[in-house]
Structure 1
Amino acid sequence: MVFDMVMPPHPLRVHRRRLGLSQEELAAATGLSVRSIQSLESGRNRAPRSSTVRLLADALGLAGADRERFTRAMTGDDDEPARDDAPPRPAQLPAELPDFTGREEVADRLAAALRPGARPVVVSISGMAGVGKTSLALHVAHRVRGHYPDGQLYIDLRRAGRAEPYRAAGFFLRALGTPAGAVPTDAEERAALLRSVLAERSVLVLVDDVEHARDVLPLLPGAGPVGLLLTSRKPLPSLPVTLAVDLDLFSAEESVRLLAGVAGTDRAVADPTAAAEVVDACGRLPLAVRLAAVRLAARPAWSMRDLADRLAASDRRLHELGGTEQAVRASFDLSYQALPPHLAEAFRQLAWPRLGEISVDTVAAACDVDAAIAAGIAEDLVDARLLLSPRPGRYRYHDLVRLFAQERSRAADPPEVAARLVRRLVDGYRKTAVAALQTIEELPSPPFRDAAAATGWLTAEGQLIVAAVCLAAELTADVDAEACADLARALGPHLRATGEWDEWQRLADAVRQVAVRDGNRPAALLAGMQLGHLAILRNDYALAGSHLAAATDLARALGDRAAEARTLNLIGLLRFTEASPRPAIVAHRAALALFETLGHTAGVVNSRINLAKCLATQGRGAEGLAVLDEARRLLPPGPEVASVMLRHQTARCLFALRRYADAIEEHEACLELTRRHGLREGSAYVLAELGLTLLAAGQPDTARARLALAVSEFERLGDGNAADTYRVVLGLAQRALGDLEGARRNWRQAIRF
């Protein structure tokens, strides 16, 4: 016992205390566990591995003779150097790409997270097929492998076979020196032994292409300075991950750098436009960009333009990016083959409409299911990394994934699948669009609680509705022309109010094409009226007159007196815009008489508002207010868009009567309503008339600010006529403030008006 008490302190403890390190600090510096340090210093472990001794000597800063003495003392052999009976250090990492490009910031984060410590570190990289998960993982693993002196392990679970995940544990045990006969056959025992072996070693483990969290459970370390790096297409939220990174597509700059690095900088620099087209055709998917670059590098006679032109043909693009087992098509197919049948069908069929984005409503209409099931389908495809979700409730295909889905559809689905999908889309959207129009114009109609909800839905789904109707026109599908007309009837006024005139033009043109093809005269009438309205807004008065004259004749031939009255109102708008208020008044009075005969309240209100506008322009403000009073009496509660129009024309009549304070108050209230409902055209006109009223009221400074905003908004809307009209008034406000140069500049710009 006395002998034990006078034993000299363990050399590890001596050197540790010399440096003022705690056991925990030394453990962190070496990547060993605190328990391992304690076991060594207490003498319980008298035969540490040579790799452990090296780690300790490095952390303690020992060199030369001090290092040799320390090594002999640690192994208990003063005459012989430390025994190196450890099994060979595994070094299983495949080579990284010599031209690895991009991902600098995320690579730094991953490398920092993989620094070994007292406990295991688990890091995951997820993303769609071809986004570069394995390339990044190998790049990072090679960066940090020096921190793991006991070796690196690697396995590709897809190629190893996911059906037996415990086989990977046996593979790792044998690589770490466990004799094959000592590897347990029981799966749980095998995983437990792997945890025991890893607990005392500093090893980096890279597990590639994990499909499910359960695949990697047998490989999770329990203790020790182990780094585990996982790649998977899906996130793995159930695992104890220290850092999870979800990779996005390359930026345009990263894509061009990769292209140039593989194919040659000189070719990319010689034609940067073609290089940009190549990466766009590849959808900035790293695998696709690399394959395109390899293809170009192997063909010295090709220019970057040659490659861009070959990739421009979408029906050949996947073929051009094929040719190896790492081809883009094969990469996508792995995700596709894992889908259950109902998701595989949805994945194929949703690709046909070629929509920029799709919504839950799109999925519901296309798959003929309710919204809850549609949301589940879309999210499941996102989880499978076959759909992207740029924001909640909105989805889109990567361009190459869409081409792949269409290929699979051609192989698996009947030829009429595209036409059937378009019919479903049009019919599905029609029901909701009609409800939205009823809610906006009359009373709430399910599923909408109020006009704001209906307007919000039209805003969210508008471009998709336009795309569906355009496809109906393009595919010569058996689509009901009246359904297309109903969609235009609901969406057209919204697109006008929000300033999306190009989309409205596409919609009206498509409805006319479907109507002419099917011989549907009511649908052709609606299209003609909307095209006439668009032509007025675009200042093409001759075209507007032609459309409206034809629409009037067709309405009368069909005996559709309500449509005839609407067309008369549009003719009144045309005459008013042409600065012909008297013919405009005649047209609006005729429309009003027809609507009154029909008992069409909404038409009566709209005609009275239009008539008051013309009267105010002629200085007949009192008559205009009387006309509006009757409109106000008839206006049902609910539709705020009609209220906006009524208040706007009330302010114009008050201006005509020189009741400027009252007019300003009405305009301010009206402006708040237009902004609340996103009515860009209405906001621009209210701002302009407010500016005019403020100028007349002797407030040129405030008037100038309002008028400048109005002119800018008209220019954004593409309404040069209105912009020039109110640029003249803006010049008057500037002149009143002494800014003559600014006034002349605006007047010169408005000369064409």
Structure 2
Amino acid sequence: MAVEFGLFGGVEARADGRPIELGHARQRSVLAALLIDANRVTSVEQLVDRVWGERSPQRAEGTLYSYVSRLRQALAPVAGEARLSRASGGYVLAVDASTVDLHRFRDLTARARTADDDGTAASLLEQALGLWRGDLFASLDTPWFNSVRESLGRERFAAELDLGDVLLRLGRHAEMPFELAARTREHPLDERLAGQLMLALYRCGRPADALNHYRDLRSRLADDLGIDPGPELRHLHQQILTADPAIAVPSPADSPTTGAHPAPTPVPRQLPAPPPMFTGRDLEVKVLCGMLDPGEPRHAHVVAVDGVAGVGKSALALHASHRMAHGFPDGQLYVNLQGASAAGAPLTPYDVLVQWLPQLGVAGTDVPGETGAASALWRSVLAGRRLLLVLDDAFSAEQVRPLLPAERGCVTVVTSRSVLSTLDGAEFVHLEPLAQEEAVTLLERLAGAGRVVADPTAAGDVVGFCERLPLLLRIVAARLAARPSWSIRVIADRLAEEHRRLNELQAGELSARASLAVSLRETSEEGARVFASLAMVGVTELDLPLAASLAGLPWAAAEAVLEQLVDARLIDSPVPGRYRMHDVVRLYAREQARVRADTAGWSATRRRVLDHYLALTQQAALLLDPEEASALTTGPPPAHPSGFAFDDRSEASAWIDFVAPHLPMIMDELAGSDDLTADIALLALEAYPALVVRDRWTELIRLSSIAVRTARDGDRRVLEARAHNLLGMAYGNTGRLDESLAEFDLALRQWEEIGDRHQMARALNNLGLVARLRGDLPEAVRCHERSILLFQEVGDSNGQARALSNLGLVHQRIGDHDQAIVAHEEAAGIFRTLGDRYRLGLILGNLARSVRLAGRIRESLDRYQDSLRVIRETGNRSGEAEQLWGLAQALHDLGESDLARARWRAALDILRECGDLTAKEVEAILAQPVPQAPAAISRGV
């Protein structure tokens, strides 16, 4: 079994390519210390000092022993290749040094310095530097590890300098300027590095840039150290000034690699190391590998992997590329295009071509100086070859297109936050966040199984706060690694506090905030402003009208900017006209809003949000229940801030269902603004008819409660009374009768104090309803009779008809069916005159039932048919089922059993179609000798 150990970028071990679970960070640090001294005894005192430094626990040796014991168990499957044992006061890890990346790096660099020719030296140094996946044993923080890290950083830099000298002697200067320039930003005062960059620039035909670099370095040396450049750099500067032939591009005859035969075309192997602890993505890996496999039907020429920041695009691309690399015998090329890098501008296609063409044998002097010509040469060089190209972190399709091969023998994998939809012939793999189980598994592998097993609930919470994004989970794991005493619950509780979550999601160079800042940088200034405005209400899913109102734009203009934010992967668009913002993104957007918006800006936005809801709730109410909306409205609908309007009832219904869950929360947020108090209370009144039609009683209770509070705070007695009335109706329709009675009683007393007899009538009618439901039938009659008189007095025929209908139901309950018939007939006449067919159908059904209960059964058959005819016109399916049930009951009373059973079945089939009953429940009811009415038959029979 082949074993490999990694220290660069994180402590890890693999057996036959599969990761070995090594435990938590402190335990891994023991392995790291032993690997650094591989095959040498490390004393217990040394290990304690290395692992804990000055913060060692009281029983450090006992803890160390347990760590070593667990490591020995973890390495048991590879004991033949890696044996951890006790020896003379310490421990020794016996391994083949070549299996440890650190020792392999040192061996390769040593061999390079004694190589017979520059070609061999270059190959060895490139292999050595290719082992670095990141900082040495990242996240291990003790004085000893920090010292070793700094020392090895110097070794790496020395190897980079050695490679630079070798490449210049080989004439490979064309591929060097970009990397050398990046390195000089890290080591701005190193003269050897500066000399390499100057010589590479000069040989690439850029002497002015070489001289400018010298001038900048001389200024920095003078300012920072008070010295001049050394004699070697000054001499090179003079040679560049005089175009000294001694620094010209070396000819093949001058090259130490020249022999009897030309050097073979190199086979590049540039893929970075496979991502450690890659987890999940089984389906995506299978799909992507199939696209990269020439033998598969889905074999592709270009594969573009897209997804939001931190979702793991690069990890997936590298994981699959390593698995399929064997299918590309001419090599693998890799470049980070820096499309989402905070460090600098994205690479240009030409930057990449001048790096890659020399990798395939093109002399640096033969690389054209213009992108189009260099791209054409690139396609010619690739003809007939089979290479895998990985273009990581692309900014746009334009950045990628000049780098694409022309033939299908080569395959290009592109990763990008944006969907590069204009890449002709590309196949696309879209990455969503990890599945919950995969995310927990990744957290377990990153932070240690013990922590997760100890508190799986907290682990689930952490995964939720990280929105199942691998980057955020790695940040949390890095924070836990540096804090071994913290449990998963500690970090979960800290992440739960919204105001600190972004601060918790950063560790070293990893930062959720920095990653999002790069995405925001891709948008226009208008896009950044709109992005910030979307967080001014606390919802993560918005529709286009609300987003336009927040942005202060007409809805068509807002849609164009929102689509720009979708392209930048700052928001998603699950369906047209709807936009979703991940919670972490919302928190970042709110930070941006605080930076951008002054007090006046916040106030204007809040006003637009409230106007948005006032306009659309009133529009929806007038479409869904025009009679009730007209009775409740206080004036014409206000203009919508972005000019949006509903086309029909179905659109209004869909909007109410979408906004109802978060509408109370938004109104509660806005309630803190004194200038909006009255309109917030008014919103509940305007929304009431639409919410009732859509059966949104829970939201109506919350909204009405807010309306009561805001109206009281604003000393608006009329609004408060109306809000109490709404709250009473909402409580009553959800079975909370005592609370309903209390609210209606408060409303009635306030209307009496105000002197509004119309609203007194409405409150009395509602009190009568609750009294009937509570079984207090005499009180119900008293309330309804008094409300009927008041409705007549103020000329509200609709209110009068409703109160009459309710009075008829009370008389039914009492058993005074003749009085019930009189009340229902009078109510039906009024609704017929008003043209309210919906309520007319229901009242005719009540009338038919009263007639049947009065013993006039044959007459009730005609009454039920009248009701069914009207109800069917209005499309009221539940009302149709109720009247069919009553008709069946009347037929049964007449002994028409077969006809009755057919009507019962018809009623139950409607309820099944509406989702109120299952097929099994329907058959169970029909199996009864006399079927009992289900709960969905609202008033019974």
What range is the shorter-chain TM-score in?
Answer: 0.7 to 0.9
Counterparts of 2:403 and 2:365 in 1: how far apart (Å)?
Answer: 20
Change in 2 beyond 3 A, CA 1:98/1:373: same
Change in 2 beyond 3 A, CA 1:666/1:521: same
Q: How does 1:122-201 map to 2 (within 5 A)?
A: 122-158=302-338, 161-162=345-346, 164-201=348-385
Write the letter of the residue equivalent to 2:335. Answer: I
Q: How does 1:297-312 map to 2 (within 5 A)?
A: 297-312=481-496
Change in 2 beyond 3 A, CA 1:266/1:349: same
1:88-132 per-residue CA deviation (whole Å, 9 max, x = no partner) reads 211111112120011110111111111248997100011111111
Change in 2 beyond 3 A, CA 1:633/1:172: same
Deviation of 1:606 after TM superposition, in Å, equals 2.9
Deviation of 1:188 after TM superposition, in Å, equals 0.8
* 1:215 equivalent in structure 2: 399
Equivalent residue in structure 2 for 1:463, among 626, 637, 661: 661
Q: How does 1:487-502 map to 2 (within 5 A)?
A: 487-502=683-698
Instruction: Report if the CA contact (8 A) 2:801-2:830 is conserved.
Output: yes
Counterparts of 1:558 and 1:438 in 2: how far apart (Å)?
Answer: 28
1:478 aligns to 2:674 (yes or no): yes
Counterparts of 2:465 and 2:306 in 1: how far apart (Å)?
Answer: 23
Deviates more, 1:577-586 or 1:357-366: 577-586
* 1:561 equivalent in structure 2: 757
Deviation of 1:645 after TM superposition, in Å, equals 4.0
1:373 aligns to 2:557 (yes or no): yes
Q: Give the SS at the match of 1:250.
A: coil
Instruction: Report if the CA contact (8 A) 1:155-1:207 is conserved.
Output: yes
Counterparts of 2:614 and 2:371 in 1: how far apart (Å)?
Answer: 57
| Structure with greater contact order relative to length (CA < 8 Å, sep ≥ 6) | 1
Q: How does 1:110-129 map to 2 (within 5 A)?
A: 110-116=288-294, 121-129=301-309
Change in 2 beyond 3 A, CA 1:456/1:654: farther
* 1:383 equivalent in structure 2: 567
Structure with larger Rg: 2
Write the letter of the residue equivalent to 2:419. Answer: P
Instruction: Report if the CA contact (8 A) 2:573-2:580 is conserved.
Output: yes
Counterparts of 2:870 and 2:327 in 1: how far apart (Å)?
Answer: 68
Deviates more, 1:322-331 or 1:250-259: 322-331
Equivalent residue in structure 1 for 2:626, among 441, 458, 466: 441
Deviation of 1:456 after TM superposition, in Å, equals 3.9
Counterparts of 1:301 and 1:708 in 2: how far apart (Å)?
Answer: 63
Q: How does 1:34-53 map to 2 (within 5 A)?
A: none
Counterparts of 1:526 and 1:262 in 2: how far apart (Å)?
Answer: 57
Deviation of 1:695 after TM superposition, in Å, equals 6.8
Write the letter of the residue equivalent to 1:656. Answer: L
Counterparts of 2:880 and 2:262 in 1: how far apart (Å)?
Answer: 83
1:622 aligns to 2:821 (yes or no): yes
Instruction: Report if the CA contact (8 A) 1:107-1:136 is conserved.
Output: yes
Deviates more, 1:570-579 or 1:386-395: 386-395
Instruction: Report if the CA contact (8 A) 2:882-2:907 is conserved.
Output: no
* 2:411 equivalent in structure 1: 227
Deviates more, 1:84-93 or 1:306-315: 84-93
Deviation of 1:351 after TM superposition, in Å, equals 1.1
* 2:769 equivalent in structure 1: 573
Change in 2 beyond 3 A, CA 1:182/1:732: closer
Change in 2 beyond 3 A, CA 1:120/1:580: closer
Deviation of 1:364 after TM superposition, in Å, equals 2.3
Q: Give the SS at the match of 2:574.
A: strand
Deviation of 1:486 after TM superposition, in Å, equals 3.4
Equivalent residue in structure 2 for 1:584, among 765, 774, 780: 780
Deviation of 1:232 after TM superposition, in Å, equals 0.9
Deviation of 1:208 after TM superposition, in Å, equals 1.2
1:266 aligns to 2:450 (yes or no): yes
Change in 2 beyond 3 A, CA 1:174/1:432: same
Counterparts of 2:658 and 2:914 in 1: how far apart (Å)?
Answer: 22
Change in 2 beyond 3 A, CA 1:629/1:533: closer
Instruction: Report if the CA contact (8 A) 1:191-1:219 is conserved.
Output: yes
1:602 aligns to 2:798 (yes or no): yes
Counterparts of 2:279 and 2:451 in 1: how far apart (Å)?
Answer: 17
How many residue pairs match? The answer is 642
Change in 2 beyond 3 A, CA 1:295/1:690: farther
Write the letter of the residue equivalent to 1:585. Answer: V
* 2:140 equivalent in structure 1: none
Equivalent residue in structure 2 for 1:316, among 480, 486, 500: 500
* 1:53 equivalent in structure 2: none
Instruction: Report if the CA contact (8 A) 2:458-2:489 is conserved.
Output: yes
Write the letter of the residue equivalent to 2:546. Answer: T
Q: Give the SS at the match of 1:248.
A: coil
* 1:325 equivalent in structure 2: 509
RMSD of equivalent CA atoms? 3.7
1:438-476 per-residue CA deviation (whole Å, 9 max, x = no partner) reads 333149999445545544433333334333322223xx1
* 1:402 equivalent in structure 2: 586
Write the letter of the residue equivalent to 1:649. Answer: N
Q: TM-score, normalised on structure 1?
A: 0.77
Change in 2 beyond 3 A, CA 1:370/1:645: farther
Write the letter of the residue equivalent to 1:626. Answer: E
Deviates more, 1:603-612 or 1:354-363: 603-612
* 2:526 equivalent in structure 1: 342
Change in 2 beyond 3 A, CA 1:500/1:434: closer
Deviates more, 1:660-669 or 1:551-560: 660-669
Write the letter of the residue equivalent to 1:375. Answer: E
Q: TM-score, normalised on structure 2?
A: 0.62
Instruction: Report if the CA contact (8 A) 2:540-2:582 is conserved.
Output: no
Change in 2 beyond 3 A, CA 1:634/1:88: same
* 1:277 equivalent in structure 2: 461
Deviation of 1:174 after TM superposition, in Å, equals 1.8
Deviates more, 1:145-154 or 1:624-633: 624-633
Change in 2 beyond 3 A, CA 1:695/1:407: farther
Counterparts of 2:335 and 2:546 in 1: how far apart (Å)?
Answer: 41
Deviation of 1:219 after TM superposition, in Å, equals 0.3
Deviation of 1:379 after TM superposition, in Å, equals 2.4
Change in 2 beyond 3 A, CA 1:291/1:352: same
Q: Give the SS at the match of 1:390.
A: coil
Instruction: Report if the CA contact (8 A) 1:532-1:548 is conserved.
Output: yes
Write the letter of the residue equivalent to 2:798. Answer: A
Equivalent residue in structure 1 for 2:706, among 510, 521, 527: 510
Instruction: Report if the CA contact (8 A) 1:130-1:286 is conserved.
Output: yes
Change in 2 beyond 3 A, CA 1:221/1:733: closer
Counterparts of 2:910 and 2:480 in 1: how far apart (Å)?
Answer: 51
Instruction: Report if the CA contact (8 A) 1:515-1:521 is conserved.
Output: yes
Q: Give the SS at the match of 1:592.
A: helix
Change in 2 beyond 3 A, CA 1:570/1:178: same
Counterparts of 1:738 and 1:338 in 2: how far apart (Å)?
Answer: 66
Equivalent residue in structure 2 for 1:423, among 607, 610, 620: 607
1:105 aligns to 2:283 (yes or no): yes
Q: How does 1:646-665 map to 2 (within 5 A)?
A: 646-657=843-854, 658=857, 659=859, 661-662=861-862, 665=865
Deviates more, 1:259-268 or 1:644-653: 644-653
Change in 2 beyond 3 A, CA 1:434/1:156: same
Change in 2 beyond 3 A, CA 1:645/1:382: farther
Deviation of 1:271 after TM superposition, in Å, equals 1.6
Change in 2 beyond 3 A, CA 1:703/1:677: closer
* 2:138 equivalent in structure 1: none
Counterparts of 1:413 and 1:94 in 2: how far apart (Å)?
Answer: 44
Change in 2 beyond 3 A, CA 1:708/1:297: farther
Percent of pairs with identical residues? 32
Counterparts of 1:692 and 1:484 in 2: how far apart (Å)?
Answer: 48
Write the letter of the residue equivalent to 2:361. Answer: G
